[in-house]
Amino acid sequence: MQPRHTRSALALALLGLGWAGWACRSTPQEPPPPAGRWWKGNTHTHTLWSDGDGAPELVVDRYRERGYDFLVLSDHNLLSRGERWFPIDGADKRLPRARVDELRARFGDAAVEEREIDGQPRMRLKTLEELRARFEAPEKFLLIEGEEVTDSFKGKQVHINALNVADVIAPQKGDSLRAVLERNLAAIAEHGRANGRPVLAHVNHPNFVWSLTWQDLASLAHEHFFEVYNGHPEVHNDGDATRPGTEEMWDLANTLRLRELGLPPLLALASDDSHHYFGDGEKRSNSFRGWICVRSTALDTASLLAAMRAGEFYASTGVELADVRRTRERYVVDIATEPGVTYTTRFTGVLADGGERAIVLAETDADPAVYEPNGAELFVRATVISSLPQPNPAPGDPAQRAWCQPWVPPAR
């Protein structure tokens, strides 16, 4: 697409620059290219500490070996801290003897501690502190402490990942579904303030047991991140015959937030929610299905979370992007193409005076893909769809994709 619009400097000076400076006014110049590089990470990972079947060191090792730059271990309502002796060959079959032997072979005999307690052989689980000492390397690999704050209301599941916590956060409960959502998000935000650290929360898998509606997502006031893709097989990312998928929910929620609620748009993550590290398949909750890439100048927790707050990240199930830029005049998606693969970029949005539903504003096979807003858009976002299928899909997973964040173009 070629530029279609020319704007006077005066007009530009009067315009707000969309969402990165939400509620801010910007200078008339086009901003410089964002600094930094992309860091790849998964923010939703389970281990033996709660209901995963992988020892923590095995899980961390696999992500690092796969080329991830950062990883959040996010077990249910606990942190990887303290002394915990996990049963070997226990009834739940999550740690058979053969897997302990594999850990010994991989990490050395000295790295695996066993003890018999009341006649039951057990292995001590590695703490996050031990994992950091073993795996972290400056600018190469980072572990962020996390928790999946796991709550519910009358069978509806409210799961929220809290990233960079200082201590465990208890589920807050509440007398309605919305209260449970908001009380947990408020508690996580308050935890960050009280501990003087950046904390970020994302609402997980809204369609898991059909727990959250798009109206629930629209109502989120204390935080604005959610999972548009989750690799667990039971989360219905794509909805069903009567209920919308997470992508449609995202647009519906953002339309309401921007039109009526005065809230910033929801930003979306993809994650694995991995539980199963032995045996792949559609019914398994495996690694490497969904992740985020965050652009920042340094690989440290504060930089990554700040970049996410600024919207400098995209979600992916396989498509890699070289650049995403939302300047004053255009939304540009530059794909890191692979030979022999074709890509379609879809710019989706809602018109300010249009209907409730998002429409495809433009679609292109070009790289970079460029969209120039005409002033009629309430918001615009971009999805890149690859010609490749996901190698180990969860049920209903279509081709590999990347989701870029919604953008509120400057008013015309």
Chain residues in the site for Zn ion (CB under 5 A): 148, 159, 204, 273
Q: How far is the CB of 159 from Zn ion (least distance, A)?
A: 3
Closer to Zn ion by Cβ: residue 273 or 377: 273
Closer to Zn ion by Cβ: residue 204 or 303: 204
| 176 contacts 151 by C-beta, under 8 angstroms | no
Closer to Zn ion by Cβ: residue 53 or 273: 273
Q: How far is the CB of 177 from Zn ion (least distance, A)?
A: 15
**Rounded Cα–Cα distance for residues 127 and 130 (Å):** 5
**Rounded Cα–Cα distance for residues 80 and 18 (Å):** 39
Q: How far is the CB of 161 from Zn ion (least distance, A)?
A: 8
Q: Which residue is nearest to Zn ion (CB)?
A: 159
String of DSSP letters for 2-28: -------HHHHHT---TTTTTT----S
Specify the long-range contacts of residues 133-137, CB closer than 8 Å, at least 24 apart: 134/57, 134/60, 135/57, 135/60, 135/61, 135/64
| 240 contacts 247 by C-beta, under 8 angstroms | no
375 backbone dihedrals φ, ψ, rounded to 5°: 95, -10
Closer to Zn ion by Cβ: residue 122 or 202: 202
Q: How far is the CB of 241 from Zn ion (least distance, A)?
A: 24
Q: How far is the CB of 275 from Zn ion (least distance, A)?
A: 7
**Rounded Cα–Cα distance for residues 243 and 245 (Å):** 7
Q: Coil, strand or helix: which one is 151?
A: strand
Closer to Zn ion by Cβ: residue 151 or 273: 273
Closer to Zn ion by Cβ: residue 51 or 363: 51
Q: Residue 366 carries which side chain, given as an amino acid letter? A: A
| DSSP-derived pairing of the beta strands 120-124 and 85-87 | antiparallel
How many residues in the chain? 412
Closer to Zn ion by Cβ: residue 358 or 394: 394
Q: How far is the CB of 46 from Zn ion (least distance, A)?
A: 6
Q: How far is the CB of 170 from Zn ion (least distance, A)?
A: 16
